[in-house]
Structure formats: structure tokens, C-alpha cells
Amino acid sequence: MSRLLFWLALAVLVVFAVRAKIRAARERVDRAEHGAPPAATDANGATGASAPIESMTSCAHCSLYFPASEAVRADGLDYCCPAHVRLPAK
Ligand SMILES: [Zn+2]
């Protein structure tokens, strides 16, 4: 009897997993057909429709790419940290 319950529970789990997969695939197709880009969500799940795009820059010493707002600027060059300002630019 317990073996039958095990197989029944397994069958129910498989059915739910397949239905979730089908639903996800259908939503993906709907989004692609209607041309709507996938909504960007933040940590709270809210859609950030007007999320600003941040420009990137690279460090003059180590060539690391990082957001331009975090740059340390000296002599018209961008650096990733104050320590690299003191080191020679490449
Ligand atoms: Zn650097």
C-alpha cells in the first residue's frame, strides 16, 4: 500500500513540474510575440521601468571596468581606487 502511495505522490509531483514548465514556456512565447521586454524586477519584486543605465569606464592603471560614478578622477583619467591614482597609467 505504501508503495502505491509513493508512486502516486511521484506522479503528482511530475505532473505539477511539467505543468509549471509548460506555463513558463508559454509565458516566454507570449512575451516574445507581443514584443514586450522582460520586466526588470528589483529585490522587492517591483518592476523598475525607469532604471537608469550607468555608463562604464576603465581604470587607467589596471584596466578594470567599473561604473563611472565610482571612478576616482585625476589628471583627466579614471581610476578604480585611490591607490591606483598613485601608480603609473598604462
Ligand atoms: Zn585600477
Query: pLDDT digit of tens for each residue in the chain (90 aa)?
Result: 788 888 888 888 888 787 888 888 888 878 787 775 555 555 555 555 677 899 999 999 999 999 999 999 999 999 999 999 999 988
Distance CA 85, CA 90 (A): 12
Largest CA distance in the chain: 80
Specify the pTM: 0.43
Phi, psi for 11 (deg, rounded to 5):
-65, -40
My answer on whether 58 and 82 are in the same domain is: yes
Q: How far is the CA of 54 from the centre of ligand 1 (A)?
A: 19
| Residue 10 within a domain | yes
Q: 23: domain range?
A: 1-40
All residues at 6 or more sequence positions from 82 whose CB lies less than 8 Å from its CB, including other chains: 72
Ligand 1 geometric centre to CA of 60 (Å)? 7
Residues 42 and 37: their CA atoms lie apart, in Å, by 15
**Residue 47 domain flag:** no
Report the distance separating Cα 84 and Cα 80, nearest Å. Answer: 7
